[in-house]
Amino acid sequence: IVADDLYGDVKRSRAFEWAYQLADLGRPVDHKKWGMTPQTVNAYNGGLENRIVFPAGILQPPFFDISADPAVNYGAAGAVIGHEITHGFDDQGRRIDSAGALRDWWTPEDAKRFAEQSARFGAQYDTYEPVPGFHINGKLTMGENIADLGGLLEALDAYHVSLQGKPAPIIDGLTGDQRFFLAFAQAWRNKPREEAI
């Protein structure tokens, strides 16, 4: 690292990372390696390794708070957990079996239904225009779209099960489901600069 050479620093760090990754070629998989640092606020589904990783960084507000209302934790952290689980069954994850091998393990009937349903889902996303003049490419973003919706639905179901048949309390005038969806929205809110969009 050279204090007055940002370009050189980036170039050298990329070369280091490339060499680090190449060093793994031809070696057995190191199951102790993570694709993220513990402080990273993110998560991932390592399908080929048959694991889901939640670094410590995401297990803090706004995603998780041990003292928070359960609806809030299910809406934020629960949706992330469900999202990563769902990746195991999305357009890419469905092609990886329980041992982490690339293999289409679905029945032809299930694969056909999946293709039909995901085409309809992608067409829905194609209609979204987050920035004027720019539409989402539903086919390109399919895995994330499936994981987002699946994770949210799984977390909502889990929240309802956690209530054990009892009604959720009303807190600050909001129902449990309202707090769930509010927490989901608040966990992902951001305000990007115009240049970033």
One-character DSSP codes across 165-176: TSPPPPBTTB-H
The answer to whether 61 and 77 have CB atoms below 8 angstroms apart is no
Band (11; pLDDT cuts 50, 70, 90): very high
Of 84, 90, 91, 154, the catalytic one is 84
Q: Is 5 a catalytic residue?
A: no
Per-residue pLDDT tens digits for 70-80: 999 999 999 99
Q: Is 177 a catalytic residue?
A: no
Per-residue pLDDT tens digits for 140-180: 999 999 999 999 999 999 999 999 999 999 999 999 999 99
Task: Report the pLDDT value the prediction gives residue 32, as an integer from 0 to 100.
Answer: 84
CA atoms of 90 and 82, how far apart (whole Å):
12
Task: Report the pLDDT value the prediction gives residue 42, as an integer from 0 to 100.
Answer: 95
Of 65, 144, 148, 177, the catalytic one is 148
Among residues 173, 161, 165, which one has the least CA distance to residue 70?
161
Say whether 45 sits in a helix, a strand or coil: strand
Per-residue pLDDT tens digits for 77-134: 999 999 999 999 999 999 999 888 999 999 999 999 999 999 999 999 999 999 899 9
What pTM was computed for the model?
0.86
Task: Report the pLDDT value the prediction gives residue 86, as an integer from 0 to 100.
Answer: 97
- Span 14-24, average pLDDT: 94
Please state the length of the chain.
Answer: 197
Say whether 188 sits in a helix, a strand or coil: helix
